Amino acid sequence: RYDRKNGNKFHQEDLAQAFNLQSDNKYAKSYEEALNLSRKMSGGKLSVVKELFNRIVLAYIIGNDDMHLKNISLIKDTDNKTPFYDNLTPNYDQLLVHAFPNPPKIGFLALDLLKEEVDGIFSEMYNKYGFYTGYDFYVLGDRVGLRKPVIKSILENYFNKENDVIDIIKNSFMPDEMKDTATSLIKDRIKALKIIE
C-alpha cells in the first residue's frame, strides 16, 4: 500500500475535503481552482502543480470525465511535521470512459478547466471550436504558475507518444468497436491540443 510505511499511516486529504465540500459536490470546482489549492496545500511546490496538470491533460486525451475532486488527493510522509503536503497520491481511476458503450454525457472533463467556466464564460478559442484546445491548457498552466516551456514539454510528451499508444490499443484485447472509438478519441484530442492560436 502506498499510504503506509513501517506500520505508520500517511496522512492524506482529497480536494473535496480540502475545499470543505460534501462528496456530492465533488464536481463543484474547476481544475484551475484545484491546481491552485494543491499548490497552497503543498507549500507552493510547483512539482505538485506540474504533476496534477499532467494528469488533467491525460484525462482530456483519453476521455476520462470522472477525474473529480474526490479522485485527487495529496499525501504527507510520516516524518513530515509541517502543515504542508509532500506529493499527490498515486494516479488512479484513469479510464478511457468514452471508449465504453453508452459513455456518460457529462462533458470533456469532470470539472471545468478554468474558473470562469463555472459561470458559463469560456475562452475565445473554446467558443470558436466548441472544445478545449492547447490554447486553453496554456492559459490554465500560466494561471497556476507553470512556465510556457514546461507546459509545452508536457503537451509534446503526449504528442510524441501518440503512435505508441495507438499501437497498444490496436494490440489490446478490447473489442474492435472500442478500439476504434479509443483510437479516434485520442487522435482527435491530440489534434485539439496542437491548436494554440
- How does pLDDT run across 110-126, given as a tens digit for each residue? 999 999 998 999 999 99
Domain boundaries, the chain: 4-193
**Position 79 pLDDT exceeds 90:** no
Q: Is the dihedral of CA 153, 139, 146, 25 positive or negative?
A: negative
- Domain 4-193, CATH 1.10.3470 — does that match? no
Closest alpha carbon to 187 in 152, 163, 156 = 163
Across 165-192, average pLDDT = 92
Query: Is pLDDT at 27 greater than 90 in this prediction?
Result: yes
pLDDT at 178 over 60: yes
pLDDT of residue 7: 54
The mean pLDDT of 61-71, rounded to a whole number, is 91
Mean pLDDT of 99-112: 70
The packing angle between helices 31-41 and 46-62, to 10°, is 150
Q: Give the pLDDT confidence score for residue 94 in this predicted structure.
A: 72
* CA distances, 145 to each of 32, 45, 47, 107 (Å): 11, 10, 11, 26
pLDDT-based confidence at residue 152 (cuts at 50, 70, 90): very high
138 near 166, Cβ under 8 Å? no
Confidence grade of residue 6 (pLDDT, cut at 50, 70, 90): low
Report how far residue 69's alpha carbon sits from residue 26's, in angstroms, rounded to the nearest whole number.
Answer: 5
